[in-house]
Structures are given as C-alpha cells and as structure tokens.
Amino acid sequence: MSPKPTALIVDDEQAIRKLLRTSLADTHDVIEACSGEEGVRLAATHNPSIVLLDLGLPGIDGIEVIKRLREFSSVPIIVLSAREQDGDKVLALDTGANDYLTKPFSVAELQARLRVALRAPVSTTANAILEFGEVKVDVASRHVSRQGKVIHLTPIEFNLLLLLLRHSDKVLTHKQVLTEVWGAAYAGQTQYLRVFMRNLRHKLEADPAQPKFFLTETGVGYRFRSGR
Amino acid sequence: MNEERRNPDVLLERVCADETSRGRLKVYLGMAAGSGKTYAMLSDAIVEKKRGVDVVAGYIEPHGRLETENLARGLESLPIRRVSHKGIEIGEFDLGGALMRRPRILLIDELAHTNAPGSRHQKRWQDVEECLSQGINIYTTVNVQHVESLSDLVQKITGVQITEVVPDHVIRKAEEIELIDITPEELTQRIKEGKVYLREKAETALNHFFRPGNLMALRELVLRLTADRVDEQLKTFRRQHEVREIWPARPRVLVCVSPNFLSERVVRSASRLAGSLQTELVAVSVDRSTAHLPAEMTEGDPQTSLDLAERLGARIIRRTSVDVVTEVLRLAREQNANIIVVGKPIRSRIRDYFCGSVVDELIRQSGELDVYVITDKAKDSFIPLLISPGKVTRHGTLKAVALVSVATGVCALAEQVLDISNLVMIYLLAVTWAAARWGRFESVIAAILAVLAFDFFFVPPRWTFAVSDVQYVVTFLVMLVIGLLISTLTARVRAQAELVARKERRTAALYDLSKLLARAATEEQIAKIIFDQSKVIFGLDAALFVLTPQGDLRPANETPSGFEKEVNEMAVAQWVSDRNAPAGAGTMTLAGARGYYVPLPGHGEKGIVLGIAKGKLSWDAEQRSIFEAFSSQVASTLERVYAEAAATQQELEVERERVRNVLLSSVSHDFRTPLTTITGTIDTLLSREPSATPESKELLMLVKMEADNLSRMVRNVLDLTKLESGQLKLNVEWEALEEVIGAALRRTQSQLGARKIVVDLDPELPLIKVDAALLLQVFVNLFENVSRHAPKSTTVNIVGKVSHGTLTLTVTDDGPGLPQGSEARVFEKAFRGRGDTEGFGLGLTICSAVMRAHGGGIEARNVESGGAQFILTLPVPEQQPEVSYVA
C-alpha cells in the first residue's frame, strides 16, 4: 500500500478542522493550520499533496494564501467558502485554486472533489478516443459521434469540448474557458459561452435542460462531469 | 473615395421633423386683409370637427364680417381675455386658458398681432410657439406684409409703415402653409362691396394700401414666398432620399451689422439671400471703440439689428476689435462663409477720401470671398465729423475759455521775443493740452477760440477780427485744421486706451469671480458670490434660483431690493426654469418683470435660473457679453458643486454597503460553520459506524435533515435581508435560461427525488441579462417548494416561451395545488402553506423580490387539473449580444 497523501487544512474554525481531520483520517495524513501565514509555512515545509483552504481567514485572507502558495507550489487547492458572493470563488479559482466547495458541504462531496483534484489531467494530445455516455470523441481525427451517428461540431465547439474533457470533473471559470478557446481579448464575453455551450449540449446531451455531463456552475463557470 | 456619407445636418433635420411631442402648425397665408384666410381656416376647422377632432377657436379677430362670424359660431370658442389698457378694454387670446383646455387643434387668428402690455408674451406668435411646444396643433392666419424678412419690401412698395411682424423661422417651421390666393380685381370688388371694411373706410383703403399696383405686387410676393417654400420642400425631399450624393458643406452667408441707419435693411437682404441659397446666416457685429465719435455718427446700438437678425434665424457673433476689417474676414473664414453682406452709406467723395471706408477696405482684402454691398444715401457729411463737438458741457466751455485766455496771456508776454508765427505754436500747444487732458469737446472749442483770439489780439490790425494781410487766412485755416485733427487723433488714442482699460476691468472682474467661485462649495455660497460680484460688475442685484428636493424653485439668497421674493418675479423665474429660455426685462417674454432671468444648465430636467434686477435698464454689448461670461461661470461652478455632492453621496452609500456586506458575510460565516460541522459530523458518523442501530441511524438522519432545513432558512433570511435593503446590486450578465434551470434542478436533485421533471423550452429562447446567482435561487426555491408540497409521484412541467419582448416561464405541478384563495398571498412574508411546518415561508417572497429586481414578475395560481402553477416573466433585452461563430 502506497503511503497516504498529505492533506493540509487551513481553517480558523477548530470545529471544521476537527471534522475534516476525522473524515479524512482514513485516506489522508492530515496537517492543520489555523491561519493563512501558518498554512503557507506548513505548505513550504511539508509539501502536502492537497490543500483545503477556508477563504474567510483572519490575518491574510484566502486569496492571498493562494497567491503565496502559487509562488512556489502547484499543489491542488480546494477552497472552502462560506461567503455568499460568487465573486470570491471566481477570484480564488482565477488566482489559482483548483476547485471550491460552499459550506455547508457533504463529506461525500468533499471526498469526491479530493479524488478529482489528485487525479492527473486527461490526456487529449495522444491519439486517444474519449468516451462519455453515448458519445465518442476521436481526438486525432476530430471526429465526434453519438449513438454511432456522426455529430458535426464546428472548430470552436470541438476546441471547447476538448478543453472540458481535458479538465474532466474540474471547474473551469468563464474567464479560463474564454481565454483558452477564444483568446484573452474575449475574457469578458460570457455570451459566447452561453451560445456555444448550448450548442454542445443540444448536440451531445440527451436532455439539454437537465444535462448529465456539461454542468453549469452558476456564476462561476462550467464543469464536465465524467461520471468516473 | 466615393463612399456613402450621410450629412449629419440632414439626419438632424429629419430627427427634428420627426419630433412628435410638438404640435403641428398650419399657416393660412394671404396677400392682404380680406383675402379670405380666416374663412378658409374656419371652413377647414369645421371639416375637422365633423370628423370628430377636438377643435377649439382660440381667438378669431372680430372684423364684423358676416360670413366669417356665422362659420365661427359652429365651433367651441375659448373665452376672450379682457385686458384694460389706458382705459380701453381690449380682448386678447387667453394663453393660460388654451393650455388648460388643451384641444387637439386650436385656431388663432392674426399671427402677427402684438399683445396688450402685461400679457405673458409681447407677440401672439410667441403664444402660438408655446402652445406648439405643449403639443397643441395650431391653425393660424398671416398676411404677407407681416413676414419679417419681407416687411421692408412691402413698406417700400406700399409706403405703409409696418410694425407688426412675425419672424421668418416661425413660418418656416410650419408643417403646412396654405396659400389663400385671390386676384386683385376680386379683392377690390369685395372691398367695394363692403365685405372687408365698412363703406366709409373702404374708400380710403382702396386709395391707399389696396391700390391695384400694390395688390399686384403683394400678390407676387406671396406667390413667390410660397414657391420658395415648395422649392425648399422639394430639396429637403431630395436630400432625404438621395443619400448617395456627396454633400459639400454649404458655405454660409455672413452679414456685418454695424451701427448705422442701413443695418436693418442689410440684415433683411442677407436673410433673404441666405434663404434662397438654403444656407445658414451668421450675423457679425464688431464693436469698435466709438467713444471718440459723436453720438449722431454711431446712430445707436447695433443690438436692434442683431435682435432682428436673431429673429430671422441668424446665428449671432459679437466681437470687439479696433480693426474691423481683419476681424470680419477672420470670422468669415472661421465660419465657412463665402458671401459677406455689408451696408455702405453713400457719403461725399471727400469724406471717403479723407476718412477711408471700412467697406472699401473690406473689398480690397476680401480675396476669394464675395462681398455684397447695400447702399443708400447718408445724411452726414465730412465737415461735421471733424468739428463735431463730442460731449457738450458748460463746464467744458469754461475750461476751454480759461485755457485760451492763459495761452493769450502767455502770447502777450512772449510777443516781445517771439515772431508772430511762433505764437500760433503756443495756441496749438494749448489745444493739444486740452485734447490730452480733457476731451474732444474742450479741444474743439479751444481750437476755435484759439483762432479767434489769435486773430483778434495779434494779427494786424489788432483789436479787430479784420485781417489786413490775406496770407493770415491760410494761417487761420491751417491752425484750425491742425487743432481739430490733433483733437480727433488724441481722442481716438484715448478711446483705445479706454477700450483696453475696459477690457482689463472686465477680465479682472471675471477673474475675481472665477477665483471666488472656485472656493464655493454650496448653492448658498455661490448665490452670495453672485450677488456681491453682480453689485461690483453691473451695479445690480442678482439672485440665484435653485431647486428644492421637491423640484420647486426657490431663491438661494436674499437681496436688499427683495425682487427675488415677489410673486410675479418668482413666476417669471419658474417660467424660465420650465421652458429653459431667457425671459423678463429686456426680452420679448414677460417683459414687464423687474428682473432679467436666464436658465443655467442644472441637474435633471428643470433648469436653475439666474436672475438680475435690471428694470428698464438696457445693456450695451460690453455688459451683455460680461453677463454671458458671468452666467456661464456660475453654471459651470454649479455643475461642479452638484457633481461633488453626488460623489460624496455615492461614497457614503458605498461605505454603507461595505459595512452591510461585512456584517452579512460575518453573520453568514458564523451560521455556516456550526452547520457544516453538524452535517459533516453526521455524514462521517453514518459512514463510519456500521454497527449503529437502525434507531440511532434514523435519529442521526433526523438531525441531518433539520440541520439542512436550518441551513436553508439561514440562507433565505440572509438573501431576503440583502434584497430588501435595496442595496443589492444586480450582477447581470448574458445568461441562458436553460443553464440556470439545469443548475437549479441539479442542486435540488436530492429533494426532488423521483419527481418527474419535463423541461420544454422554446429552442429560439434568447439570451437574457440577469443575475444568474439570484435567478438560480428563484428556481431552487420553487423546486424546493414543489418537493415540500407535492407528492413524490408528481410531474413538474417547465415551459418557456417568448412573445412581445417578454419571456414567460411556467412551472406547473400536478400536486394538490395552493390553498384556495391564497394564490396572491403565497409571496407574502411568513406565509405558510398547507402542512408547511418547516421553513419561514420566505422562499417565495425571495422569488418575488428577485423577479421584481429584474423588471419581471411572478404569479401563482391553481390550474384546472388541480396542481399549482407559477408564472414567471422577464423582459427580453431588445438586442441580443453579438456572437461571431468564427474564432
């Protein structure tokens, strides 16, 4: 059995730390910090495999912690936020966090996110054939089919699909998607996303209004759910 | 480049023409009284009335013509306003009554009429303008001799003085002009029959104004005016429809308004010229310092001519310069004018030779510009200019006599040593001294006295005016001319110095004003500065009228004369504020007021007004332009003060919002943390304790469920607090409704459980501009509501459609429906549904608040089959965002 990965919990609430420690004890080695400064220090000295970070910290706040962590580490960061504003989540994600959970969250959800965060990104460069539901995607030839029927995707739609597949189960902010697919100049043009995501869903989902794969993270961005 | 270009002027013209709120004007134009204008107008009105249009006769001139009176009786008439003036009672059109009655079409006879003193406006056409601006359509009549630009021609033709005129722009702006044509023979016949005037009067009329020759000329004028208009309309039509043509910027006509007897004629001619060329007229007045010229040379203020030009639709430019010619040419180039119209009184050749002529100089330097010269015989001559005495005072005469006496004394003493011809020098010295120290009048008197004294005392034979040697006549003449020239030149130099000094004073005064205003922070401070500086600059009381928060006008300061508090003056100020046009003393509107009032650009729709107690005082160009600069400085200061106040207010609100947000998020944090711990702990316990008994498992589930409820309640309370604080800023973006519904369904998945959801959205559903997080909450609340009240077997139908710019979404279930009669109350705070034991019932209140914040709404009802239905509406943006399908 391989050694358990180390999870760093940064939260000023003792109750939350205790809860997280108990729920993660089976799968992770847990270290705890009760302030942002301590969190950054522990991250530098212990090299954790994942960081669970509360956004509303006393002293330096969560966003600042992400910035400092990203100066030396690419460790996956999952943000725990009790804040109402989606803006903070988006800012955290755009600053370098990998995922977020809004309090109160269920432990099962947390563990699912942890698994995804630790997973390596899906390779789309190889001559892979990716599958989800009834859909098959041939990356090399850029062919997409559903129930065996060829589905025509425009180049933009295909690029969008590929980006989402590459980041399966991970949240992508509007800005990230727009920058990747259309370029930095389009970072604020969310209407592009609405139109192209709608097209993708209508082409690839059974019920576009109740999507199984192309999920909307309202106010934040999109998440492709692989079902793995 | 032959690219299509739309002339902005054309577009503007069309936009102005499309302005619907303004009433339409129809003018019945005739060549003379008795041509049947009123009759035609009344006939048309009766036709309109029969079609059911609300037509009212505002004022019909009682000429005692039977046919006309019979017609007028068929219409509703406004009561006549009785005004008594100098003991005579006069009937006038009642503007206030008309505005109150607000008919669709109002008939007002005789557009050129001058109102009795004390009326709101001086002229009836201003009444008509006001009615038009209030959206009332007007039918009116006018005779061609009353058209301002033609009145001088009519005067020349008929020899009758015309005093009542209507500015051309009023008639030009009319939507319709109906020409009432009648042959001179027929009109003569009608007059003979006494249909126009009473018999005795008819005879005189026929011999004067209504002479056949006159009538023919008048008829030609009126026909030509109408033809010009038809031509203009044709050109307008072509301009609106042939956009492909390249339109050169049309060169304007520039008219020089100078203070001479010709200038009104010059202005009228230039206006006709500009009209026929379909171009803009610019009237320029260059004020030279004229202080050295005698009063009869300057012939008054050019202001009357400028006012005329303004009424004829010209743009007015005033400048002050000693070099008139250069200034005029510079302005012509600046204003893109290629025709200059100027008047030149014909004077004697000698005078032109000696004094030069501005017009000659203008022509010499005009280059590529065309100069049109309008001439007439002048009444003056060369000699009066040289000896014209300036300001006559007894004091001045005494001073001149004393000076010449002293000079004579000196000459008497010096006679022993000096040659007689050198005595002349002493006299000239005295004249120069008088010109330099005192002024023109003194120096002219001194020059004449000096010649006389020299002759009398020193030229042989002495003690007599007789001259033995004829050569001395030459001496006298030269002495006189030199004396007068010196006095003229000195006076001119002095006048220029005065001009410079005046300019400097003005600059200094305005500089002071701007320095003071820069420090002002409130309306009251500004008002105080206005009052103080107005006293210094104009010697008049000034008051600032500002708006109260309720939108009423009130004076911001008190003046010793208290004019600003008088009811009448307040009413004038209110009028100025409402109409955004100057009025009061010295204007044509409400001229009886003590004050002169100008609107200042303020905030909102209504203007702020600056009033200055002017009374009958008339201003020269200098004061006018200072006042303009004065008021524009005040206006920009007010703008700054208001902007600062708004910024402070905004800062306060931002701060308030920040505090509120900090509070909310900390409350939210404080609740969420324990809730997270509770639910998380139960989760962990349930997964970790396989040994737990079913009872304890059930208990744990119960705790978890209640914790979830608690967490939902907390969320609702916080959401509602935010929504109701009114501080909520919608974070709107382009969103697809499908996505928001999809996200809400996913979030409520566990609660909805097995309930079947059917989503049927129109595939053409447009993107909407909404705050996605809030709208998501609406759907989450709705679905949670379904999950609480409808049984597990329920099917929920979600249907979305767009029609008439509104997106309508219905969420229908086939559950038990809403309690009877409570359909509207479910959105009330703390309303509890049937069996709704959990929850505050805030969910639907939040839905309603969010929908309203988006300009939409939500309604609830029971469908016939029994289930509950929620109908949500949202406005659809008029334009969809641009999305290009190619990267």
User: Which of B672, B705, B713, B748 is the mutation pick for testing A, counting most A CBs within 10 A?
Assistant: B672
Contact B596, B612 (CB under 8 A): yes
The shortest CB-CB distance from B883 to any of A154, A183, A191 is to A191
Q: Which two tokens stand for residue B698?
A: 């059930």
3-class secondary structure for B484-527?
A: HHHHHHHHHHHHHHHHHHHHHHHHHHHHHHHHHHHHCCCHHHHH
Span B183-209, pLDDT tens digits = 888 888 888 877 777 666 777 777 777
- Confidence at residue B2, expressed as pLDDT on a 0 to 100 scale: 41
Positive or negative CA dihedral for B857, B862, B863, B869? positive
Looking at beta carbons, which residues of chain B come within 8 Å of A154?
Answer: 885
Which residues contact residue B703 at a Cβ distance below 8 angstroms, ignoring those fewer than 6 apart?
A: B678, B682
Is B740 in CB contact (< 8 Å) with chain A?
yes
Is A184 in CB contact (< 8 Å) with chain B?
no
Instruction: Give the pairing of strands B542-547 and B25-30.
Output: unpaired
Using alpha carbons, select from B209, B93, B210 the residue that is nearest to residue B161. Answer: B209
Report CB contact under 8 Å: A82, B673. Answer: yes
Answer yes or no: is pLDDT of B383 > 50. Answer: no
Report CB contact under 8 Å: A106, B683. Answer: yes
Q: Which two tokens stand for residue A83?
A: 């804040």
Measure the CA–CA gap between B431 and B489, rounded to whole angstroms: 12
Q: Cα angle at B691 between B689 and B694, to 5 degrees?
A: 95
More confident residue, A10 or B639: A10
Residue-level length of chain B: 887
Is A35 in CB contact (< 8 Å) with chain B?
no
First vs last C-alpha separation in chain B: 32
**Average pLDDT, whole number, for chain B?**
80
Measure the CA–CA gap between B355 and B375, rounded to whole angstroms: 18
Question: A70: distance to nearest CA of chain B, Å?
Answer: 26
Span B347-376, pLDDT tens digits = 667 666 666 677 888 888 888 888 888 887
CA distances from residue B215 to B152, B163, B675 in whole angstroms, order as listed: 16, 19, 100
Side by side, the strands of the sheet bearing B370-377 are B315-320, B281-287, B252-256, B337-346, B370-377
Entry pTM: 0.47
Helix (H) or strand (E) holding B647: helix B621-688
Contact B713, B839 (CB under 8 A): yes
- Confidence at residue B294, expressed as pLDDT on a 0 to 100 scale: 39
Measure the CA–CA gap between B818 and B836, rounded to whole angstroms: 12
Is B761 in CB contact (< 8 Å) with chain A?
yes
Contact B786, B870 (CB under 8 A): no
Whole-complex ipTM? 0.88
Looking at beta carbons, which residues of chain B come within 8 Å of A34?
Answer: none
Report CB contact under 8 Å: B680, A156. Answer: no
Contact B530, B557 (CB under 8 A): yes
Answer yes or no: is pLDDT of B95 > 80. Answer: yes
Is A223 in CB contact (< 8 Å) with chain B?
no
Span B143-166, pLDDT tens digits = 888 888 888 888 878 877 788 888
Measure the CA–CA gap between B563 and B614, rounded to whole angstroms: 10
The shortest CB-CB distance from A86 to any of B664, B746, B773 is to B773
Span B614-662, pLDDT tens digits = 776 677 767 777 888 888 888 888 888 888 888 888 888 888 777 777 7
Which residues sit opposite B756 in a β-bridge? B795
For residue B558, the tally of other CB atoms under 10 A from its CB is: 14
List the alpha helices (DSSP H) in B388-470. Answer: 394-414, 420-437, 440-453
Contact B451, B502 (CB under 8 A): no
The shortest CB-CB distance from B745 to any of A22, A202, A210 is to A210
Using alpha carbons, select from B275, B266, B255, B265 the residue that is nearest to residue B370. Answer: B255
Selected residues 53-82 of chain A with any CB under 8 Å from a CB in chain B: 56, 82
Q: Which two tokens stand for residue B829?
A: 């705070």
Question: B254: distance to nearest CA of chain A, Å?
Answer: 52
Helix (H) or strand (E) holding B317: strand B315-320
Crossing angle of helices B772-789 and B737-747, in 10° steps, is 50
Query: Per-residue confidence at B388, pLDDT binned at 50, 70, 90?
Result: low
Nearest CA in chain B to A183: B887
